[in-house]
Amino acid sequence: MTERPEAGPSASRADAPGNGAPAPEDTWLVVIDPQNIFAAPDSAWGSPMFPAAFANIRRLADAAAGRVLVTRWLPTADRRTSWREYFAAWPFADRPADDPLYDLVPEARDLSPHPTLDLPTFGKWGAIDRFLSSRDVGSAPVVLTGVSTDCCVISTALAAADAGARITIAADACAGSDPANHAAAIQVMSLYPPQLTVTDTDSALPLLQNPAS
């Protein structure tokens, strides 16, 4: 795992609630893997839905006022596992982790004031939960967005449901590998209330605009 811990004064206990940090029930925005590999039109994994989804991600991030986490998927999984066969099937993705293919798209680089959470797994919930817990906001509701809906987003959402999290999925701020796969993943996630609530950007915005007092 290559999760990068937050460094510097922002990670201190001085940021606990009551000292200018978010309160425990403030809603956070999570943006899953807005990277070149999933967004570039010439990438084998590039989502045709990404530009429209990102316009909504930007609206949500502006409303969240810094309560934003961004994740990245990196090709650093143990090749003694089934990841070996995975990368054999997708050799274009078998590159060093510092390859520009894994960089955030330029428009996503200012979404969050926090370091990216970098992992070799589809699902990112464990790292997200650890980050929020480290800031004493482990019970915070989350608005989930990103790419791709039918892989890393749904893998994160289902793990969060098992953990008892409160997740709102902004469906129009998620980008699937194609529209049919996006719709199928959204349908599966809609089967998990109350842990998972599927909505749209307009309905999710008030959750981020009105933090707990």
C-alpha angle with apex 199: 121 to 206, nearest 5 degrees?
105
What pLDDT, on a 0 to 100 scale, did the predictor assign at position 7? 35
Instruction: Give pTM, 2 decimals.
Output: 0.88
Radius of gyration of the chain from Cα atoms?
16
Query: CA 54: distance to chain centroid?
Result: 12
As a whole number of angstroms, the distance between CA 64 and CA 112 comes to 10
What pLDDT, on a 0 to 100 scale, did the predictor assign at position 211? 63
Contact between 117 and 127 (Cβ < 8 Å): yes
Q: Which one-letter amino acid corresponds to residue 163?
A: A
List of domains in the chain: 27-209 (3.40.50.850)
Between β-strands 142-147 and 117-119, what pairing exists: parallel, antiparallel or unpaired?
A: unpaired
Q: Each residue of 42-53: pLDDT tens digit? A: 999 999 999 999
For the ranges 8-17, 18-27, 34-43, 59-68, the lowest mean pLDDT is seen at 8-17
Q: Each residue of 151-170: pLDDT tens digit? A: 999 999 999 999 999 999 99
Beta-carbon-side half-sphere exposure of residue 59 (alpha carbons within 13 Å): 18
